Structure 1
Amino acid sequence: MGLAWLRRLAARVMAVLLTGSLSYAAAQTHAEVLPVREVAPGVFVHQAPYALALPRNLGFVGNAGFIIGKDAVAVVDTGGSFAAGAQLKAAIRARTALPIRYVINTHMHPDHVLGNAAFADAGVVFIGHRNLPEALAARAEAYASATERLVGPAAAGTRVILPSETVDGVREIDLGERRLKLEAWPTAHTATDLTVLDEMTGTWFLGDLLFLGHVPALDGKALGWIALLDELKRRPAARVVPGHGPASAPWPEAAAPTERYLNRLVSDVRNMVQAGEGMADAARTAGRAEAGDWALFDDFNARNATAAYHELEWE
């Protein structure tokens, strides 16, 4: 064995050790305890940034939370990657050793469901709207490839977990002296919208039926969304948790910005349809008066206008 051979061996050993150290460091970073706010006794929310999915945020760009009962924990949405879900799970474990019994998804979008894989342990029940299994199955491959492209190496381990139980109408679950009311709704933001009410504190997780600060994203029916918000406003709640925006907001006042945006979008598109203007025109100009009031407006508004045009052109 010559000196050159020993040097090559040492270099290879160091490379292996360094790679292992970096992988371990990355895993530790991804499992950091997520900052959460206790918005009511036993109810915790992570307020996500107004941002698109990127490696630095692990795709955690939608709000998520958890509720601690006497016997168990329920999670409401899980972020946009396995790594994001692992951070949320670490935040739960920093506050309780009780079993995580339920993971509830408020709708089908990847920034709310792709962290589910971090919770795929024995005994965990995944719950969603009756339409969620079909919607997620149809999008699983596209979600996986998009997450790899947007989040990069931090997407490792991310996969779609289909709900093991669904809600058609109303269902109640008990965490131990703490009941949660789950309700499935007709098509609004999406065709898979589900809300979660903690009856003990009056805290209502509305998912992406409510946006604050972040421009609403339309993937369902604008008219259905407007009608549903009108119905939801008639129900009392001590506070609401939006899918995007401040972790806790007063109700029903918090509905006003989303309603205003949707009504503006519908009005503009209707006027354009009646004037014989096309979908490209709508994508370019409908809703533009709202631009100064919302983060990420240019990332979502054109798609919203296109969806609204499809919905309204044959009214």
Structure 2
Amino acid sequence: MPGRPRKPQGAWRARLLAGALAAMLMAPAAAAVAAGAATAALAVTEVRPGVFVHFGMLQDWAPENGGDVANLAFVTGSRCVAVIDTGGTPAVGEALRAAVARATPLPVCYVINTHAHPDHLLGNVAFRSGAEPPPRFVASARLAPALAARATSYLNALARDFGLRLEARDLVYPDIAVERTAQLDLGGRVLDLRAWPTAHTDNDLTVYDPQTRTLFASDLLFVRHMPALDGSLRGWLAAMAELRQVPASLVVPGHGPADGDGRAAFDAQFAYLDSLLRAVRTALREGLSLPQAVERIGVPGGAPWLLADRFHRRNVTAAYAELEWEDNAPAPSPPAPAGPGAATGARP
């Protein structure tokens, strides 16, 4: 079980962090990165020896929270450090970089992006400057085209909502593309990376540390925060069945707290996604239009998901678009997989 994060909680914490990041958000990205030494470090928890996690706020990506809404992490070896996701603005990335420097004198040799959503990678630019040699940036082979397709939208959102004007060159693309699997040697510690078929997105990547049996599932697992579908519902359910076979003793989600092997969290997310699959298939068999399906399909009972009003209707829309062209007699949804302790399946 991880220790409790040493950081303020609730609305007070949101106001504190948003205020601390606001000045940097109003500056150009280059100035934010140049501020390095004076930047306040993000609060992190050492959840396992040499494994540090910053737990983002359970809110939508917005200026009120400074874009600090995703879980970010770094893992230390004897030679260097791997950072796993960098946050939703350059300022969050710089604060994470300060947290790394506070925890260890070792250099950052890898920055891993788990997928192309803005709350996970817009802090990359903070790690590109001022390091010699600079770190390698690692992601799924499909992240670069996904980021390129959304670059203008991300830059516009930062300018419109955050008052932060970045240029295209401030979006950092990977120079190591993972087609299926890869390993990163940090010195005495090797991380196993796996790129997944389309699931939460079409460019998901997980990181597994065999030394501490820690799985960084990123947004393939949401805890308390409603899952957000931006890829394939069927693919996500299939990926979850495989993730449940990883022999992890600690699973770190992309959003929400980490709590042991993730069994309960996987169960809750599976229940929601499977219910969504079944409900949309029923609506399609009954000939409902997309607007009718969105109005009819409510959030199922069970886990009290946060941000349901923000994401559930979007999930119904995405699922409808995916399932609309299935065969008329679709195969049943995947069965609920056995717990992680029931098998010793492949690592990501």
TM-score of the superposed pair, with normalisation by structure 2: 0.79
Partner of 1:115: 123
Compared with structure 1, are the counterparts of its residues 199 and 105 closer, same or farther at alpha carbon in structure 2 (3 Å cutoff)?
same
- The 1-side partners of 2:75 and 2:86 are apart by 13
Give the Cα separation in 2 of the matches to 1:234 and 1:284.
36
Q: Does 1:81 align with 2:89?
A: yes
Provide the rounded CA distance (Å) in 2 between the counterparts of 1:72 and 1:102. 8
CA distance in 2, matches of 1:261, 1:105: 26
Structure whose CA Rg is larger: 1
SS of the equivalent of 2:193 reads strand
How far, CA to CA, are the matches of 1:249 and 1:161 in structure 2? 33
Per the alignment, residue 246 of structure 2 pairs with: 235
Q: How big is the alpha-carbon RMSD for the aligned residues of Structure 1 and Structure 2?
A: 2.4
Partner of 2:80: 72
Aligned partner of 1:276 in structure 2 is 287
Residue 248 of structure 1: CA displacement?
4.3
2:195 maps to 184
Confirm whether residue 46 of structure 1 aligns to residue 57 of structure 2.
Answer: no
Which runs of no fewer than 5 residues in structure 1 stay unpaired? 1-18
Distance in 2, Cα, partners of 1:271 & 1:29: 56
Once the two structures are superposed, what CA deviation does each residue of 1:113-167 show, in whole Å capped at 9, x if it has no partner?
A: 11101111342100000101111111111111112222234x6689311101111
Q: 2:136 corresponds to which residue?
A: 125
Alpha-carbon offset, residue 236 of structure 1: 1.0
User: How much does 1:97 deviate?
Assistant: 1.4
Deviation digits for residues 194-252 of structure 1 (CA, Å, limit 9, x no counterpart): 00011110111011000000000000000110111111112210111000000444233
The residue type equivalent to 1:74 in the other structure is: A
Q: How far apart, CA to CA, are the structure 1 residues paired with 2:182 and 2:36?
A: 37
Which letter maps to 2:196? W
Structure 2: how far apart are the matches of 1:28 and 1:100?
15
Deviation at 1:170, TM superposition (A): 1.1
Find the counterpart in structure 2 of residue 308 from structure 1: 319
- Asked if 2 retains the 8 angstrom alpha-carbon contact of 1:211 and 1:242, the reply is yes
Deviation, 1:291, is 8.5
Distance 1:30 1:213 in 2: 34
- Give the secondary-structure state (helix, strand or coil) at the position aligned to 2:121: helix
- Partner of 1:50: helix, strand, or coil? coil
* Percent of paired sites with the same residue: 45
**Contact 1:46 1:247 (8 Å CA) reproduced:** no
Contact 1:287 1:305 in 2 (8 A): no
Aligned residue pairs, count: 294
Q: Which residue of 1 aligns with 2:15?
A: none
Distance 1:111 1:249 in 2: 24
3-state DSSP class of the match of 1:173? strand
Distance 1:257 1:103, change over 3 A: same
Q: Deviations over 1:34-89 (max 9, x none)?
A: 01111100101111111122224221211110001101000000101100101111
What's the CA shift for 1:191? 0.6
> Which letter does structure 2 place at the counterpart of 1:192?
N
Unmatched 5+ stretches in structure 2: 1-22, 327-348
How far apart are 1:29 and its partner, in Å?
Answer: 11
Residue 138 of structure 1 pairs with residue 146 of structure 2? no
1:292 to 1:120, Cα distance in 2 relative to 1, 3 A: same
Between the aligned partners of 1:231 and 1:265, the Cα distance in structure 2 is 20
Matched, 1:63 2:71: yes
- 1:14-33 matches, cutoff 5 A: 31-33=39-41
Cα distance between partner residues in 2 of 1:120 and 1:304: 34
Equivalent in 184, 191, 210 of residue 221 of structure 2: 210
8 Å Cα contact 1:82/1:157 also seen in 2: no
